Amino acid sequence: MKRILFNNASGFLMVFFAFFFAVQVRVSAEAAEMPDYEHHDHFMQGMEMPDMKAGKVAVEIKTEPASIKPGNPETITLVIKDAEGNPVQEITPTHDRSLHVIIASQDFTVFSHIHPEDFGPITPEMEKTGEYPVHYTFPKPGRYLIGVDLAVKDELISKHFDIDVAGEPGMGMPAADFSGKKKFGDYEVTLSAKPARIATGKEVTLTYNFTENGKPVGDLEPYIAAEMHVAIISTDLRQFMHEHGMLPGMKATEQEMHHMMMHHGGIAAKFGPVIEVHTVFPVRGVYGIFGQVMHRGKVILTRFMVEVE
């Protein structure tokens, strides 16, 4: 069994991160292959770090088998503990699930959004031990981000980890594609940012517009108790955000958002074609934006890239 600790560390490690980050942002902006890219990240592998960011709750992940191979069904266990190291038993479901797990490959070609409930009901054993397994088959070698979102009592917790899947060739960086208009099957989807130039630390509205064979899609359906689920991931995998879409003009306060996460906002049975996502990008860089909506019982996965200045 192997433990992999999350990478949003704080404290003394900040100094290191500030340095590595400066290097990585430049690389991302060029979206180039960088031979040294993997090197400076590897010192993180297997290091244990205390959880200092999320108050009292610590999230760890364990993988079985320890060495992850592509094409092999793997078990990823999310371990939720309190400050004393005891299992956390009061997970509050958010969007109808105990935990939300996002898996994305570093080249952004692989994306998955799964939950312990996808594999069966939450058992008393899971609640007792604070260990929640999900199962996943990584399709190819390389580095993956594992994002985890949950709520304990009334505190929302978001963590992310890196996992290296063994084998060659390693994974390249995503191809830079900042197009705001893309086809996903029969759907044409536009994504526009307001303001158009996205600045670090400033609120931005991402507006999606869905058409199907040229017709506006007015009958999108709720997907896991939200209008839209959006994962935002930086190309260096150091930033991860799980946001939710809403209808235009429905921008909620922080408090209302919190309430909706916990207790479900009133979501219309049918809506569209426009959905808005409000977010703040924490640092400069290139980000992948993976949005999921439901239409006629099927999930549409959209992928875009934006640059944050």
In the complex with Cu ion, the residue whose CB is nearer, 135 or 181, is 135
User: Do the Cβ atoms of 302 and 184 come closer than 8 Å?
Assistant: yes
We find the least distance from the C-beta atom of residue 97 to Cu ion, in angstroms, to be 5
Q: Which is nearer to Cu ion, 150 or 237 (CB)?
A: 150
Q: Looking at beta carbons, which pairs linking 249-252 to residues 24 or more positions away fall under 8 Å?
A: 250/276, 251/276, 251/278
Tell me which stretch binds Cu ion (CB under 5 A): 93-101, 168-176, 188-196, 301-309: 93-101
Closer residue to Cu ion in complex, CB, 9/246: 246
The half-sphere exposure of 185 on its side-chain side, counting CA atoms within 13 A, is 8
From 95-103, 140-148, 245-253, 263-271, give the range in contact with Cu ion by CB under 5 A.
Answer: 95-103
How near is the Cβ of 294 to Cu ion at its closest, in Å? 12
For Cu ion, the closer of residues 41 and 227 by Cβ is 227
Q: Which of 77, 99, 100, 212 binds Cu ion (CB under 5 A)?
A: 100
For Cu ion (CB under 5 A), the number of binding residues is 1
CB-based contacts of 246-249 (< 8 A; 24+ apart in sequence): 246/275, 246/276, 246/277, 246/278, 247/271, 247/274, 247/275, 247/276, 248/207, 248/274, 248/275, 248/276
153-192: contacts with Cu ion (CB under 5 A): none
Pick the closer one to Cu ion by CB: 25 or 103.
Answer: 103
CA atoms within 13 A on the CB side of 191: 24
The stretch near Cu ion (CB under 5 A) out of 82-90, 94-102, 183-191, 262-270 is 94-102
- The residue (of 31 and 246) whose beta carbon lies closer to Cu ion is 246
CB of 206 to Cu ion, least distance (A): 19
Which of 78, 242, 104 lies closest to 165, judged by CA? 104
Distance CA 212, CA 191 (A): 15
- Of 24-32, 97-105, 134-142, 282-290, the window that binds Cu ion (rule: CB under 5 A) is 97-105
* Beta carbon nearer to Cu ion, 238 or 244: 244
Q: How far is residue 2's CA from residue 65's CA, in Å, rounded to a whole number?
A: 8
User: Residue 56: is it exposed, middle or buried by C-beta count within 10 angstroms (0-12/13-18/19+)?
Assistant: middle
Q: How far is the CB of 242 from Cu ion (least distance, A)?
A: 8
Please report how close the Cβ of residue 92 comes to Cu ion at its closest, in angstroms: 14
Listed ranges 60-68, 96-104, 154-162, 165-173: which one lies at the site for Cu ion (CB under 5 A): 96-104
264/248 Cα distance (integer angstroms) = 18
238 binds Cu ion, rule: CB under 5 A: no
* Contact pattern for Cu ion over residues 47 through 86, marking x by CB under 5 A: ----------------------------------------
Q: Select 117 or 188, whichever has its Cβ closest to Cu ion.
A: 117
- The footprint of Cu ion (CB under 5 A) covers 100
